[in-house]
Each structure stands twice: as C-alpha cells, then as structure tokens.
Amino acid sequence: MEYRQIALLVEKIRHNIQKVIIGKDRELELVLSALICGGHVLLEDVPGTGKTTLAKALARSMNGGFARVQFTPDLLPADVTGTRVFRQQTGDFAFVRGPVFTNILLADEINRATPRTQSALLECMEERQVSEGGITYALDAPFLVIATQNPVETQGTFPLPEAQLDRFLIRISLGYPTQEEALAMMRRFCSATPLASLEPVAEMSELREAGRLYAQCEVSEPIMSYIAALCEAARNPDRVRLGPSPRAMLSLMRACQALAAVRGRDYVIPDDVKEMAVPVLNHRMLMRGMHGQSAQSFLQERLQQLPVPTEEAL
C-alpha cells in the first residue's frame, strides 16, 4: 500500500459515512486520522448532533465490530472489560469478554460513570489489552474508542481527570448543521434511514496496513523543532496551569503523520501541525481562570506568533 492508496481508502470511507452524516468534512478527516494512527476520539457536543450515528457509520463502513456502552453511575468496570464466571460443568472459572473486545467502542456519556469505571478504560486505550485474573487479553486491531459527553449538562456527572483526557488523541465537536445541510438531512431521512442500508467499503486488513505505513511518514528536523517550540510556548506559567506533556507532543507528531498520510503525502508540512494542534492539545491543558481565555484561543494565538519553517528549511 502507498500513501496515495491510504488517501483513496480514507476518501472512500468518508464518502460512505457522508451518506448518513451530512457535511462535516474536516471532522471526519480528523476521526479517520485518529483511526489510522491508533488514537481515540472525544466527541464533546450537545445531544442529537450525530455522535452515535457517526460511530455506527464508521464501524459499518470498515466492516468492523461495533459496541456501545451507555455509561451510568451504577456501571461497573467488569461491565466494560469483562469478568470471570464460574462454570459448574467444568468446576473452573472462565473469562467472559466485555464490550471493549471490538473495533469501534462507543463510550456514550462517559462522564456519567464513576472514576472507578472510567479508569477501566485506561489500560484498554493505552496498551490495547485487558488484564484479568493474572492473564492479559489482547484487543483486536484496529481499536478505536469514541467517547461522548455533553458540555452543557453537568448535573450527576464525574468530570474526566487529566490522566483520562490524555488518553484521547483528539477532542472535537460536530456542531449544528448549516441551513443547507439541514435541508439535505431532512430530504435524505424523510422516507428511510440510510444507516440501515450502509454497506462496508473497506476491509480490516487495509486499515491495519495503513496503520503500519503511516508511521513511516517523514517528519523533518524543522518540523520537529516547530512542534517542540509550540508545546514549549503552550506551557506559559503565567497563563497556563497545566501545559502539554511530552506524551502530548508525541501524540501531536503522530497525528500530523496520520493527517499527511490521509492526504496522500509521505512527509509532514507545517500546515499539518497547524491543523492538528488545537484538536490534539486543547483538552490536555488547564488555563488559569483569571485570564478568561480558553485553551483553544490560546493555542491559536501561539500558532500565529511562532515562526513557521520555510520551504528552504524543509
């Protein structure tokens, strides 16, 4: 597989998803980039904007497994990862796999579960495995967690700690449709639901090969310096309580490699860094309240101030 083939594969999946999700080109490109590089996605938006539909459409398009877990305060870790049960016939314990043993896991309203249950996903998201009873069970590849949360309704929720947020490669919002997109949506959903008839357009082997190839995308020394300088500038102690960690910096680099591959290139350019900086870094930062500035606007400000590597330097 070549980088041009990765771009064609991603375009084929995106076009298929857009039979259900109207518009949202940039958001779909970011989600598919996360899928390629093995990252996870946090969708933070109000109810009814298509978060669940997006996850289902993606799973059907890639002919992969899909599982949905509705996170509630009484949900237990074993309800997510699985548990051992006693078999009377054989007199021993057997592990019953939980919903994480899939390709696309939708963690719906993840912030409604207790911290104990939220932490059950940490090992799954970071190491792609589940440990139970001294035995480690590997998860299938690719494995993508799409978690949702409502940024408006906070009653009865448990905010995700920084360690949990750091496991998500990107945080994005789908947002409301434009008037033209709303009209197209009503016409398309007037008589039937396109999701029910959505057919696979990609195979798991293709995605695994794309996930192997993207990491060979070239990141030049000036681009590395640009990423490092951005993360350093985002740690301003006067305005930032918690800045991007080294893991955040490496995540940004991998996300840029995936975006370049998705766009058919075997090298990263400064525009890739500008495109991925806010989705990758904004949820990993805590701003000082006295300034009243969001992490997103602060990062955009820093991107405008930093010198961009020139073509000669690349």
The crossing angle, in degrees rounded to 10, of helices 270-281 and 221-233 is 30
Give residue-wise pLDDT tens across range 238-284: 888 888 999 999 999 999 999 999 999 999 999 999 999 999 999 99
Residue 312: pLDDT band (50, 70, 90) is low
DSSP letter assigned to residue 205: H
> Which of the pair, 92 or 270, is modelled with greater confidence?
270
Which residues, including other chains, have CB under 8 Å from residue 191's CB and lie 6 or more apart? none
pLDDT of 146 > 90? The answer is yes
- Rounded CA-CA distance 3/75 in Å is 42
> Which of the pair, 44 or 155, is modelled with greater confidence?
44
Q: Residue 107: beta bridge partners?
A: 69, 147
What value does the mean pLDDT take over residues 82-107? 89
Give residue-wise pLDDT tens across range 18-66: 999 988 899 999 999 999 999 999 999 888 888 889 999 999 998 889 9
Using omega within 30 degrees of 0 as the cis cutoff, is the peptide bond preceding 142 cis? yes
Beta strands in the chain (DSSP E): 41-44, 66-70, 82-87, 92-97, 104-108, 129-132, 135-138, 144-149, 170-172, 240-242, 286-287
> Which of the pair, 52 or 152, is modelled with greater confidence?
52
Query: How far, rounded to the nearest angstrom, does the alpha carbon of residue 113 sit from its chain's CA centroid?
Result: 19
What is the structure's pLDDT at 88?
A: 81
Q: Is the pTM of this model over 0.85?
A: yes
What value does the mean pLDDT take over residues 110-125? 90
What is the structure's pLDDT at 150?
A: 84
What is the structure's pLDDT at 293?
A: 65
What is the structure's pLDDT at 291?
A: 52
- Rounded CA-CA distance 54/28 in Å is 9
The crossing angle, in degrees rounded to 10, of helices 221-233 and 295-305 is 130
Closest CA to 130 of 83, 86, 94, 168: 83
- Rounded CA-CA distance 179/158 in Å is 35
What is the structure's pLDDT at 48?
A: 83
Residue 119: pLDDT band (50, 70, 90) is confident
- Rounded CA-CA distance 100/151 in Å is 25
